[in-house]
Homo-oligomer: A and B are copies of this chain.
């Protein structure tokens, strides 16, 4: 009954996308439109201290230019703001706005609800087993993967 390894990969992808898509939709319902996973990742990094373009770029393992674009998007949507900085090279310091904090809180809540939904469907044990298996396979630290950019890249997780 066990199928090919490719199926396994597809299932993992489908699982992620199911969660991510539902979360995106739910967040849109709650008034946070135009939010993408990458925004959430970036916001978290900024919140935990990445207050400049270069620093954010390092934490997300992307180029400065990519980070700058992400920041521009976040700024446009008022999730982050800039403040003058003493070091005139960097000129501004990033700060997560109240709106941004609200997004993070809602995002967390949404994902938690989705997880609970899964637990209701398959049982708490199944979900945590799944999680444990995966964690042991990809490693706690492997949430930092280096690879081509055909998906929102994963940030460092402090």
Residues of A within 8 A of B (CB): 1-21, 23-24, 36-37, 40, 107-108, 110-116, 118, 121-122, 126-131, 133-138, 142-143, 145, 147-148, 150-152, 154, 157
Contact = CB atoms under 8 A, between A and B. Distances in A.
A-B pairs with lowest CB-CB distance, top 7: A5-B111, A5-B115, A12-B16, A6-B111, A12-B15, A9-B19, A11-B134
Given A131-B2, A133-B126, A152-B150, A138 B18 contact: yes
B122 A136 contact: yes
B36 A143 contact: no
Contact of A9 (B3, B9, B23, B138): B23
Contacts of A128: 1-2
A121 B147 contact: no
A108 B4 contact: yes
A21 B115 CA distance: 26
A156 to B, nearest CB: 12
A98 to B, nearest CB: 21
Given A127-B133, A137-B121, A145 B14 contact: yes
23 contacts: A4-B112, A5-B108, A6-B40, A6-B108, A8-B19, A9-B16, A9-B20, A9-B111, A9-B114, A11-B143, A12-B12, A12-B13, A13-B13, A13-B151, A16-B16, A17-B154, A37-B150, A129-B129, A129-B133, A130-B130, A150-B151, A150-B152, A151-B151
